[in-house]
Structure 1
């Protein structure tokens, strides 16, 4: 400091030490360090433009507030003040001083002042009005900052800022000027407590007399080298410890500016001078030359063997270099000398923890907290100890009080944020709150950003997660964990190549964990680099043979390669290790379906539904298995439940529409495809399927609209051109159909013949509708010539021959079709040939085909084919006079397909032959009205003839 009287410069103790000496009524002497500078030398007396001063109140483990708490609080205040000053963006120059006292009971006493004029202002120029808004904003901001716990009296500090002013040699503002008279009269503690209303006003108090300490360093040295004078009351070990610690701090500050060479010279000159050895040890420790520091402390301890602070320091540095035994010896001796020194227990607990002596470590921390219950560091260390033993709830119990003592403790917020992400304590809201606060308080810390990034990723907020990860990498670009996490985020965003690069970088930096290999493995799998994906899978399993995620990936890759046994083995093991994880079991069910074991798949999906009854995907997958097993009603029930659970999922409606379309329930299928397109107008698969259903329903104009939209969106889509050609042909626009087929030949020549056949098929159907049967047969034969190995030509010709009652020829065509599919006969072919046999009167052959058709169509859930087959079998049974069975089949057929004109026709003819004319007349009239499907030309003529005959006979 510089003396305002003589201008000389002096080394003086720290402010804390001077307060303690003042409280003991001891003189404070300064040591001159150079000649006085000339008053004109402004550099020596220039006041910094920004500084902080601790004004009053003991801080520390046994003080009114912990050092960490007041540092954190004042740091937040300083940041707030500087931010608001920067935002003010004023060219005016001014001085600003914030005088702030924290008092018991969460009480704050604040005074913010600005100098009315800068030194360069003209007399009479008052810029105070322009600063009122800034002072108000600073006041409101500080009042919003949580106050740490303070006990037994005030703790005050001041903060000074000079804005847009030239250097000054004198401050124009005094701290706590509002209470200056009371401070001078009663002392600062009493004045601040009284101003805050925490003590009653008292009678006149005389300011405490201040005696200057005149015993110098010899007095301090005597405290650690020999007992106190017999005339003075003996000091307690605690007092000796406090005095000695203060002296050591002062000594370290005193010699901080001394050069290495000068310090060595002094040590050679005075080897028994304790202060020199203490200064040397501190210098070595600051430079992390810990072995040299230990040696210097050992020299000091030889001069003061009962100096507990020196033993504590040396013990700590023994611990730092890994000499735990020596560290324990020193700390045990220090604790024997001063059993009330809480920090010694903290340091010894860390040694015990390093030796995994958990009970001793916790006992020491319990003791430290008992001695200094308001020191956050001890509780924080105990929380870390609990975490090392996976004791999460006790860790929370230790961390929560820290925020009462020190609400701006960034490390505590960070640890709480991490803890609330763990399964045992999962609370995403609290985790986010604490992590965000930790980032605000410690903006240069990487861990809170990474933990918040992981939290955002778990919430599928990938952009926010990526921002945090990138911020961490800007702080430290070689942080391997950040690259690993970034790779995972990129994988979730389907940016697989970048994710692979991030994982590679993480591995280069030494992060070769299972998680990194898995992330890269999934990315390799997604980019069809299966060999590399398998290599990463096996790397994980080498590190963790029971890793269910790696086994799941291995099973998935094996499944893709068709290695079903290997896939089943890996997925089964993954499911065993993680029984609540549904994905492996879903794939196991798929494997059962691939292995033609639908019942096993149903059982697996049923177990999943029991585990997650509200998950629609489980019902959809069980519907697949039920369909494979022939349980079509059960499959439909599962589709219905999935739609109920997720009525906004267009894909589920699309799948159910496909299922209904396969069952030839076209109207219901159309409803589902419409719903899928309502939910997502761009669902092209649903549009293509809807067009096909519309074609089957003979709504050709609507189908054509869908095909037009598909071609507009996908001008090279062969399916759209093929479908539109079919639609044009059904409308009789053969030139447009041929144009589409020609276009198809250009873009997909391999599909051109199939499309041409399909177009001719549409022509056959159209000609049949026009009752141009000979022309239809000719086109069918054209198809046979074009594709002799295809079934469609024979199917079309057999159908037209049947409808024109060329029964023998039709029977030959269907027999050929059944020969082509002998391994797996189609139920509709058996149904058609069986009905032809029935119309020919070959009842036994008819029943053989129709019994098989009924059974197959029931199993496949083909309701329309079943209805037609039952109708044909009823007709054949009637021909054999098996009337009850015939009536039963007729009734079921009508129930399944009430629009089928052939059912009332066949039954009407049977009843007519039985002489039941009234019933026959009713049924034949109904048959002439129905059109789903309608009667053929000859059946219609026959029905009309019978009705005319009946009408004539009745007249």
Structure 2
């Protein structure tokens, strides 16, 4: 194996050097070039001097000529094949060329030839760690440290071992190594490296103050190092010192305007502060000056675009990132978040699956997959992922916060509280953990502790829009509406793109009556979060309240495109459709809402009312009965069912419902009117008048009570008293068709058909489908001798309601006038088939039989009419 590798190396030295290597050699400083020429001449004079080969190979390697270095090493090994230093140099050259396996063999050979050579163990240990064998790497470095002795350990070796221990989670061992390294050097550069490493470890342990302290010490020795300032900026940001972090990054970029990591970090900081435009500018520059940062820059820019609702731009960034790094867990995770935002949970879950597959130990990918599983209904899988995320990121507050959020949604408050307590203990400055814990406190009615957590979150991060938003919601629920609005304002100031804060502020402004500002906030929120149904749902509700029902339907339809199974929105759209007289579509929505939420009493109540108004009394009765079954104390349902039963001719049952309402609310005018009308149908006219009179006493402005009392007076033959009742009703409500229709009938019975015609016409104008008013107007036309108009009204009434018995009686009168007594008889028989106690029908049929020459039948019908109370004599 070794012999074959040597042959490959020889062939490599014979190849023509690449242009970039040649350019590197040409660019060597004159002093180094002179040194190379000097060594080359010396080797020419004494080609067997291994020390010369050693020096030149090192110089060639440093000046970017690994092939030349390899040529020297090969010659060196031919001269001294057991020289450990030659094998070590060969390992360096092979590693420079990317041949890790070959380098490993060379370093291992050097160690075997000279086990006391500390630097050989160091090189082998570092390569082992690089190849993933951390424990093997530590073993090699342990030997190196043992060779150096405790009194003179090499600080760079200790730093390398500390890093390996950090990777294995041995923080205490790493700290011991770093402390020893600091004690073993007075070189400011090495001290800076040690302090940087210790700061990195302390930041991982959430000891941000200590990390900042280490980096400050490092900067005291080397104040102009941009990388140190960038690392301190990261630590400052992590401890919540955003101003200090920004100052460090600005200084780092003043020292080195092309420092990619500083540009990347400043971009992330600006994104966190909501300054997305400047953030993306920094991220683009970071990628341009350091191509290794390109994927990270694209992923961060995608996140910025996503947060601003620019989903197309976000997708373009991620497409490019995944072309460059198809297996990037960060890019896959961000694309999953984008797909969640776009309303594609299945696609998001697929991306999170791939991210976890690429990096099974990435706890953040586990978190996102867990949340996606939760959103798609896989609760067991979600909790499994979040449990694993906590196991992988046990020391990361983020993992505990994520699991707590799902446990909170599942109603497992105790477990959520435990997770959040753990998160706060790991990172007392974690505002997300404090906000989450505040939510749990509120759910457990511990309002004081909730407020304390929210205040602390804001104190830690005064720029946290989420903290202000949640505190605003908390204040709103507690009734502190002005405080809530102030918090929502603060949230939108800190993050103008927060759709949640804009939606909440829009609702609050709406409640204050500032409809224009509310609509502006809700429209902005809907634009920012086009796949979040809540802003549009609120906007649709606002449009309903302001009377813009057409736009309300448009907005609510968009909500239902995002969430077709939202019964609340279906109910609300039905209300808007009813205002637009779209009865059929409204009923479709209500049917769907009730199918989704069978126990939703509000939707069922509205459907019952709509069905009642549309004349579907049997179906209406079913809905009212279902509500009463679910809630026997629902007075509105019993009231509605009572009127429905009256329409179905079940006055006794209706009376029971009205009595039930009055047991709970003895003075309710509406229930008194309902019971009065039920009593009227049961022929208890005195009881009916008593109820109507009580209703009027309780509410003198209740126009409908006067209308019903007027109808009873008509039935009693007190036409003048009836007219006065209808006059009173009209004075209270000039647009009540029932009042005008009732007065029309009073005028008919008082022998004033012209005045009756005026009232009936007004009633029909107010309600073109009022068949009783059409029949009454037909009677008025009939009395005035206008048979064509009378016939038209009777036909119109029967077209709307073929079962209007008085319409058939009126039509019979027209037939008699036209000399068609047989058709008059048929019309009367149709009326009597509908109501066999209808006196006017017997009277008209009596007249028709007499016209046909059937005196016996005429007399029988006339007598029956008199028995039923008709006091008119046959003409």
* Structure-2-length-normalised TM-score: 0.58
Give the conservation status (yes or no) of the 8 Å contact 1:318–1:324: no
Other structure's SS at 2:496 match: coil
**Equivalent position of 1:623 in the other structure:** 574
Other structure's SS at 2:767 match: helix
Q: In the alignment, does 2:719 pair up with 1:807? A: yes
Structure 1 residues 462 and 791: CA distance shift in structure 2, 3 A: same
Other structure's SS at 1:412 match: coil
**Equivalent position of 2:327 in the other structure:** 397
Structure 1 residues 535 and 693: CA distance shift in structure 2, 3 A: same
1:676-731 per-residue CA deviation (whole Å, 9 max, x = no partner) reads: 567x56794674355434553454665577x6xxxxxxxxxxxxxx74276xxxxx
> In 2, Cα distance between the equivalents of 1:480 and 1:454?
14
Other structure's SS at 2:470 match: helix
> In 2, Cα distance between the equivalents of 1:783 and 1:287?
87
Alpha-carbon shift at residue 619 of structure 1 (Å): 4.5
After TM superposition, list the pairs within 5 Å mapping 1:286-301 onto structure 2.
296-297=184-185, 299=187
Alpha-carbon shift at residue 763 of structure 1 (Å): 5.1
Q: In the alignment, does 2:440 pair up with 1:506? A: no
**Equivalent position of 1:534 in the other structure:** 485
**Equivalent position of 2:738 in the other structure:** 828
Structure 1 residues 491 and 575: CA distance shift in structure 2, 3 A: farther
Other structure's SS at 1:528 match: coil
Q: In the alignment, does 2:836 pair up with 1:900? A: no
Alpha-carbon shift at residue 918 of structure 1 (Å): 1.9
**Equivalent position of 1:797 in the other structure:** 709
Structure 1 residues 506 and 926: CA distance shift in structure 2, 3 A: same
1:69-125 per-residue CA deviation (whole Å, 9 max, x = no partner) reads: xxxxxxxxxxxxxxxxxxxxxxxxxxxxxxxxxxxxxxxxxxxxxxxxxxxxxxxxx
Alpha-carbon shift at residue 493 of structure 1 (Å): 8.8
Alpha-carbon shift at residue 527 of structure 1 (Å): 2.9
**Equivalent position of 2:519 in the other structure:** 568
> In 2, Cα distance between the equivalents of 1:443 and 1:868?
78
Query: Given the alignment, which residue of 233, 258, 261 partners 1:353?
Result: 261
**Equivalent position of 1:44 in the other structure:** none
Q: In the alignment, does 2:362 pair up with 1:413? A: yes
Alpha-carbon shift at residue 316 of structure 1 (Å): 6.1
Alpha-carbon shift at residue 827 of structure 1 (Å): 1.2
Alpha-carbon shift at residue 657 of structure 1 (Å): 0.9
Greater percentage in helix: 2
Alpha-carbon shift at residue 628 of structure 1 (Å): 3.3
**Equivalent position of 2:277 in the other structure:** none
**Equivalent position of 1:850 in the other structure:** 760
Structure 1 residues 555 and 311: CA distance shift in structure 2, 3 A: closer
> In 1, Cα distance between the equivalents of 2:580 and 2:414?
45
Other structure's SS at 1:836 match: helix
**Equivalent position of 2:747 in the other structure:** 837
**Equivalent position of 1:952 in the other structure:** 855
Q: In the alignment, does 2:611 pair up with 1:660? A: yes
Unaligned runs of 5+ residues in structure 2 are: 1-80, 85-90, 163-171, 201-214, 229-255, 265-281, 303-316, 333-351, 859-875
Give the conservation status (yes or no) of the 8 Å contact 2:812–2:827: yes
Give the conservation status (yes or no) of the 8 Å contact 1:589–1:601: yes
Q: In the alignment, does 2:549 pair up with 1:591? A: no
Other structure's SS at 1:894 match: helix
Alpha-carbon shift at residue 428 of structure 1 (Å): 8.9
Query: Given the alignment, which residue of 815, 823, 833 partners 1:919?
Result: 823
RMSD value, Cα:
6.0
After TM superposition, list the pairs within 5 Å mapping 1:109-258 onto structure 2.
216=116, 220=118, 249-250=142-143, 252=145
1:506-563 per-residue CA deviation (whole Å, 9 max, x = no partner) reads: 3355475111211221222223221221121111122123433222212211222334
Structure 1 residues 877 and 427: CA distance shift in structure 2, 3 A: closer
Alpha-carbon shift at residue 609 of structure 1 (Å): 5.8
1:815-851 per-residue CA deviation (whole Å, 9 max, x = no partner) reads: 22211223xx211111222233345554443333223
> In 1, Cα distance between the equivalents of 2:137 and 2:700?
110
After TM superposition, list the pairs within 5 Å mapping 1:314-463 onto structure 2.
321=218, 323=222, 352-354=260-262, 356=264, 387-388=299-300, 390=302, 394=322, 397-399=327-329, 412-418=361-367, 420=369, 434-454=385-405
Give the conservation status (yes or no) of the 8 Å contact 1:294–1:317: no
1:462-492 per-residue CA deviation (whole Å, 9 max, x = no partner) reads: 7876664455456666643222123346668
Structure 1 residues 876 and 311: CA distance shift in structure 2, 3 A: closer
Structure 1 residues 505 and 774: CA distance shift in structure 2, 3 A: closer
> In 1, Cα distance between the equivalents of 2:565 and 2:787?
49
1:191-225 per-residue CA deviation (whole Å, 9 max, x = no partner) reads: xxxxxxxxxxxxxxxxx9x98968x5xx548999x
Give the conservation status (yes or no) of the 8 Å contact 1:278–1:300: no
> In 2, Cα distance between the equivalents of 1:411 and 1:599?
51
1:244-282 per-residue CA deviation (whole Å, 9 max, x = no partner) reads: 9998654545788x6xxxx5xxxxxxxxx6759977999
> In 1, Cα distance between the equivalents of 2:157 and 2:667?
99
Query: Given the alignment, which residue of 716, 724, 729 partners 2:660?
Result: 724
> In 2, Cα distance between the equivalents of 1:786 and 1:689?
18
Q: In the alignment, does 2:433 pair up with 1:482? A: yes
1:331-374 per-residue CA deviation (whole Å, 9 max, x = no partner) reads: xxxxxxxxxxxxxxxxx9x985235498999899999xxxxxxx
Give the conservation status (yes or no) of the 8 Å contact 1:472–1:482: yes
> In 2, Cα distance between the equivalents of 1:561 and 1:477?
38
> In 1, Cα distance between the equivalents of 2:356 and 2:741?
83
- Structure number with greater CO (CA < 8 Å, separation at least 6) is 1
Structure 1 residues 895 and 605: CA distance shift in structure 2, 3 A: farther
> In 2, Cα distance between the equivalents of 1:492 and 1:594?
31
> In 1, Cα distance between the equivalents of 2:818 and 2:668?
49
Alpha-carbon shift at residue 414 of structure 1 (Å): 0.7
Give the conservation status (yes or no) of the 8 Å contact 1:620–1:642: yes
Give the conservation status (yes or no) of the 8 Å contact 1:298–1:314: no
Other structure's SS at 1:623 match: helix
Give the conservation status (yes or no) of the 8 Å contact 1:481–1:511: no
> In 1, Cα distance between the equivalents of 2:756 and 2:680?
28
Give the conservation status (yes or no) of the 8 Å contact 2:568–2:593: yes
Q: In the alignment, does 2:666 pair up with 1:692? A: no
Give the conservation status (yes or no) of the 8 Å contact 2:611–2:617: yes
**Equivalent position of 2:779 in the other structure:** 875
Other structure's SS at 1:353 match: helix
Alpha-carbon shift at residue 450 of structure 1 (Å): 2.3
Alpha-carbon shift at residue 566 of structure 1 (Å): 3.8
After TM superposition, list the pairs within 5 Å mapping 1:926-937 onto structure 2.
926-931=830-835
Give the conservation status (yes or no) of the 8 Å contact 1:692–1:723: no
1:294-334 per-residue CA deviation (whole Å, 9 max, x = no partner) reads: 79545599xxxxxxx999769868995355865889xxxxx
Other structure's SS at 1:397 match: coil
Structure 1 residues 559 and 223: CA distance shift in structure 2, 3 A: closer
Give the conservation status (yes or no) of the 8 Å contact 1:658–1:689: no
**Equivalent position of 2:813 in the other structure:** 909
Structure 1 residues 275 and 508: CA distance shift in structure 2, 3 A: closer
Give the conservation status (yes or no) of the 8 Å contact 2:121–2:140: no
Structure 1 residues 787 and 519: CA distance shift in structure 2, 3 A: closer
Q: In the alignment, does 2:507 pair up with 1:556? A: yes
> In 1, Cα distance between the equivalents of 2:226 and 2:585?
74
> In 2, Cα distance between the equivalents of 1:761 and 1:246?
94
